[in-house]
Amino acid sequence: MFGKVLIANRGEIALRVHRACQEMGIRTVAVHSTADNTAMHVRLADESVCIGPPSARDSYLNMAAILSAAAITGADAIHPGYGFLSENANFAEMVEAHGLAFIGPTAAHIRMMGDKIAAKDAMRSLGVPLVPGSLGALESLEEARAVADQIKYPVLIKAAAGGGGRGMKVARSEEELEEAWRVARTESKAAFGDDAVYMEKYLDRPRHIELQVLADMHGNVVHFGERDCSLQRRHQKLVEEAGSPVLTAAERDALGAQVTKGLKQLGYRNAGTLEFLWQDGQFAFIEMNTRLQVEHPVTEMVCNVDLVKEQLRVAAGEPLGYTQEQVRFSGHAIECRITAEDPETFAPNPGRVDMYHAPGGLGVRVDSALYSGYTVPPHYDSLVAKLVVHGQTRSEAIARLKRSLDEMVVSGIKTTLPLHQRIVADPEFQAGDYTIHWLEKFVSRGH
Ligand code: ADP
């Protein structure tokens, strides 16, 4: 097992990785920008190295500085968390070229899945069902028109290099196509330096259901069931559940069997998530994330597994700690992403947290790097806490979520806590009756 792991991230996920390492007797190295001198991950890590100024480009995305920090501290592996460099194939390559282990998939698989067109090609060849759309990139507006005529409006133009919902535009009719084509390409070029786009049928009432997988270096691939992440605003997840309120165990098993077989064929390793849209009982693959996800705790709660420890173990060459038969699903878990934003306008609201009080009790988990007196810096993602609850049934989980939200205090900054309180009280949410469009409508109703 590794002796020392460098955590190339910040915030709650840096803490999450640190905690798994500590419990395994692995020493940790935190890296941080000057804006994070007093951050919790820096306080708790065994060692810390300042890698640059506040701007992420000059610190958390600065590969040379991170590799230097690993060299001077004698770390033997790097965990990238999510975001930042976690899906950067060049970084994974550089880490390995420096004789360190990258706690994640191979650079080749990161590269393949990072190009959504290549990812869809790979899944098509493995027999995984896809959303109908263009085969490969669209070369011209004429080609876009032809594909749209074939698959019928509404259609979605998506960036091949996409992420975070950027570079994605809907065209409901031929009149809207040119604009969608133009805007998607411009946005994609600006955000990712690449204007390659492709087209998918725009599904009108799907749920977003994703499957968690883990693979070791000995050819074993296991899935840990699904998460329902349909509650989104601007294609960004706000609340996630495991399992999905609409999926049966048989449907989960069937999808899981198909996916694990495909990934075995690919020779995939470490953690990954396959994202699907689900409508009328049909799954359609949209993309694969080659990293740990923000919402991984709901899976941990229902499977009683520590996904980060498993990542560390398989990255060190050990076999997976689970066979598929040993993965058991118990109860129901829900996560709320609490961000430092105005709960109505979603304007970012960083600043000093006067008081922080985390809820507790049976079945309650809070992953957060907050503390009283901490100042949330304005330079990074606005996620400040993940409140995760587990119950024996979905209705127990909802009751637990409600009382935990009521217990939780984050004062001094605005957070989305009040929005989550409204969601959890809503009868449609309580009935599990929602699609990916539900939350946008809920928010615009201003309930
Ligand atoms: P990103 O990588 O930018 O997050 P995804 O491909 O994962 O993009 O899609 C993000 C979200 O956008 C999905 O969870 C879903 O809500 C919506 N979406 C994506 N593709 C479609 C589609 N074909 N039809 C309807 N909604 C879609």
Residue 337 known to be catalytic = no
User: 321 in a domain, yes or no?
Assistant: yes
Please work out whether the CB of residue 231 comes within 6 Å of at least one atom of ligand 1. Answer: no
Q: Please report the pLDDT score of residue 447 as a whole number.
A: 55
**What Rg do the C-alpha atoms of the chain give, in angstroms?**
21
- Which of 304, 146, 309, 329 lies closest to 225 in space, CA to CA? 329
What global pTM score does this model have? 0.97
Please work out whether the CB of residue 43 comes within 6 Å of at least one atom of ligand 1. Answer: no
Which of 166, 184, 201 is a domain's end point? Answer: 201
Structure token pair of residue 345: 């306008």
Strand partners, 351: 376
The answer to whether the beta carbons of residues 383 and 408 sit under 8 Å apart is no
Which atom of ligand 1 is the closest one to the Cα of 286?
6
Residue 211 and residue 178 share a domain: no
Q: Which domain holds residue 68?
A: 4-103
Which atom of ligand 1 is the closest one to the Cα of 166?
3
Q: Which of 134, 234, 277 to mutate to test the pocket of ligand 1 (most atoms within 8 A of CB)?
A: 277
Residue 296 and residue 257 share a domain: yes
The answer to whether the beta carbons of residues 351 and 376 sit under 8 Å apart is yes
As a whole number of angstroms, the distance between CA 61 and CA 181 comes to 30
User: 114 in a domain, yes or no?
Assistant: no
The enclosing domain of 143 has a CATH number of 3.30.1490.20
Q: Which residues fall within 8 angstroms of residue 54, CB to CB, at 6 or more apart?
A: 33, 34, 35, 377, 379
Q: Please report the pLDDT score of residue 164 as a whole number.
A: 85
Residue 322 and residue 178 share a domain: no
Q: Is ipTM beyond 0.95?
A: yes
- The protein residue whose alpha carbon is closest to atom 11 in ligand 1 is 235
pLDDT tens sequence across 192-248 = 999 999 999 999 999 999 999 999 999 999 999 999 999 999 999 999 999 999 999
Tell me which residues of the chain have a pLDDT lower than 50. Answer: none
- The protein residue whose alpha carbon is closest to atom 21 in ligand 1 is 202
User: 392 in a domain, yes or no?
Assistant: yes
Please work out whether the CB of residue 117 comes within 6 Å of at least one atom of ligand 1. Answer: no
The count of domains in the chain is 3
Please work out whether the CB of residue 154 comes within 6 Å of at least one atom of ligand 1. Answer: no
pLDDT tens sequence across 392-417 = 999 999 999 999 999 999 999 999 99
Please work out whether the CB of residue 405 comes within 6 Å of at least one atom of ligand 1. Answer: no
Which atom of ligand 1 is the closest one to the Cα of 232?
16
